[in-house]
Amino acid sequence: MNIIPPWLAGKIIYPLHEKLMHRPTFSYLKELNQSQYLSREEIEALQFKKLKNLLSLAQKHCPWHAQHILSAGIDPSANTSLTLSDLQKLPTMDKTDALNHRDQLVWMDVPGGAFKYNTGGSSGQPLIFYYGRWRQASDAAGRIRARQWFGVEVGDPEVYLWGAPVELNKTDNIKSIRDRLLNQLVLNAFEMSQENMLRYVKAISSFNPKCIYGYASSIALLASHIQNSGKKINIPRLRVVCTTGEPLYPEQRSLIQEVFGVPVANEFGSRDIGFTAHESPNGEMLLMSESIIMEVLDTYGQPVAPGQSGEAVLTGLCSDAQPFIRYRTGDIVKLSDKIASDGKGLHVIEEVSGRSTDFVVKYDGTIMHALAIIYILRAIEGLAEFKFIQHSIDSVEVIYVANSKWDNKAHTQIESELKKRLGDKIKVIMTQVEKIPVEASGKYRYVVSHVPLPENV
């Protein structure tokens, strides 16, 4: 499979694309490559300089934040520096706040425009929110920098094992051309059938990427398929496999590394906050400190000591279109007080305990990433919360909490869309509840399948 010369894709096409989209991706990338080697003290000074600017914008354009900034006695315009203590005077916010007060949170006239987006819904509570060009640039530049840590440069060929309605099901010719011009090959993680995985292996071998990026479980499934086939995959140009979207378990890391023969680096982030952290070649999860302030709080909202587990509460320093300030993510992490072993001043996350998703199996035996189901349910306006259970190959259940927009049309839409995904012969059970129950472990799981995966996948 032919690729565009990497120098052309990376030095001309991609920068031109970002310029036309009014995203300062490459200017920010230049800043990141310099700031990552600042001392920890200098990094934190930079964070609070950006925080002051964010609070100033929020005070002017976001009434909900403005009220809290005023109540906290913070004056972003004052000729003094802000500190972590100042930030902690503000209340935390969560998805419910972001959902219920969106009109008072969004700055629609943000330079470059505000763009509507929604979360993957893996928490069971989908969120519609807005982001701007600055947030997009931060995410893109952060990922580029992380790839560069492993010797992957802009324009080098990359394979994406990915899946979302926008990215795949409604892909138009323009986007397909763009992907090819940027040397990006997108394979559908929602359709992991035996036949498709055979095709994926051939496509990846032919494309010979320098990086493979995708859901941790989907890449592990593909690696298992390759291992069980008894054949080796030949990708001489490959430098790293980057996983995202869910926890990367030790057995998955070992399997992927054994099959592909390169380091495996996990990414941490979310759609609402954006690209948050990435594993370095030394195996350390490094926070994108120039764009994110991370606090780790206990159940009472108090900071925990370094090395202790707590909820990741994040402030997105580039979230100007809809500021996420002291945002409770629901993810459990441990933040270290150590300095990165390679001399970077970025904060080190000792451990991430995120939420994982299962696979589901279609009526015809095709394996589908659970996010394919989540994307269907999160789009239903009448659902406040949901949990999907696949009881058998032909029976599924949606447990849901309805909101004021729920009607019978939503019921019909859910059944129709699930049958399109899983097969016309499946039975869809709808169960309305007041509250989504937790698992016996005390954890929430929002997609659960009791159907075993086919053998030798």
Q: What is the 3-state secondary structure (H, E, C) of the chain?
A: CCCCCHHHHHHHHHHHHHHHCCCCHHHHHHHHHHHCCCCHHHHHHHHHHHHHHHHHHHHHHCHHHHHHHHHCCCCCCCCCCCCHHHHCCCCCECHHHHHHCHHHCCCCCCCCCEEEEECCCCCCCCCEEEEEHHHHHHHHHHHHHHHHCCCCCCCCCEEEEECCHHHHHCCCHHHHHHHHHCCEEEEECCCECHHHHHHHHHHHHHHCCCEEEEEHHHHHHHHHHHHHHCCCCCCCCCCEEEEECCCCCHHHHHHHHHHHCCCEEEEEEECCCEEEEEECCCCCEEECCCCEEEEEECCCCCECCCCCEEEEEEEECCCCCCCCCCEEEEEEEEECCCCCCCCCCCCEEEEEECCCCCEEECCCCCEEECHHHHHHHHCCCCEEEEEEEEEECCEEEEEEEECCCCCHHHHHHHHHHHHHHHCCCCEEEEEECCCCCCCCCCCCCCEEECCCCCCCC
Contact 247, 269 (CB under 8 A): no
Give the integer Cα–Cα distance in Å for 330 and 122: 11
* Predicted pLDDT at 354: 58
Measured distance between the N- and C-terminal CA atoms of the chain, rounded to whole angstroms = 25
Tell the burial category of 82 from Cβ atoms under 10 Å away from its Cβ (0-12, 13-18, 19+).
Answer: buried
How many Cβ atoms are within 10 Å of 21's Cβ, its own excluded?
13
How many Cβ atoms are within 10 Å of 424's Cβ, its own excluded?
8
| Domains in the chain: ranges and CATH | 359-449 (3.30.300.30)
* Predicted pLDDT at 223: 96
* Predicted pLDDT at 438: 58
* Predicted pLDDT at 177: 83
Q: Pick the range with the lowest mean pLDDT from 25-39, 81-95, 105-119, 169-183.
A: 169-183
Nearest to 295 by CA among 258, 342, 327: 327
* Predicted pLDDT at 168: 47
Structure tokens at 433: 């509840």
Residue range 317-327: average pLDDT?
97
* Predicted pLDDT at 14: 97
* Predicted pLDDT at 372: 84
Contact 414, 420 (CB under 8 A): no
Strands 309-316 and 327-335: antiparallel
* Alpha carbon distances (Å) from 284 to 149, 201, 390: 12, 30, 36
**What percentage of residues in the chain have a pLDDT greater than 70?**
92
Give the integer Cα–Cα distance in Å for 339 and 352: 18
* Alpha carbon distances (Å) from 88 to 72, 106, 335: 9, 22, 17
Reported confidence tier of residue 452, pLDDT bands at 50, 70, 90: confident
Give the integer Cα–Cα distance in Å for 282 and 340: 9
Alpha carbon dihedral 432, 328, 267, 273, in 10-degree steps, equals: 90
Nearest to 256 by CA among 300, 221, 281: 221
The structure's pTM equals 0.83
- The amino acid that residue 36 corresponds to is Q
* Predicted pLDDT at 443: 45
Residue range 427-441: average pLDDT?
80
Q: Is the pLDDT of residue 126 over 80?
A: no
Residue range 283-306: average pLDDT?
95
* Alpha carbon distances (Å) from 25 to 14, 136, 158, 176, 336: 10, 8, 18, 21, 29
Give the integer Cα–Cα distance in Å for 202 and 207: 9
pLDDT, tens digit (0-9, with 9 covering 90-100), for 165-182: 444 444 456 777 888 899
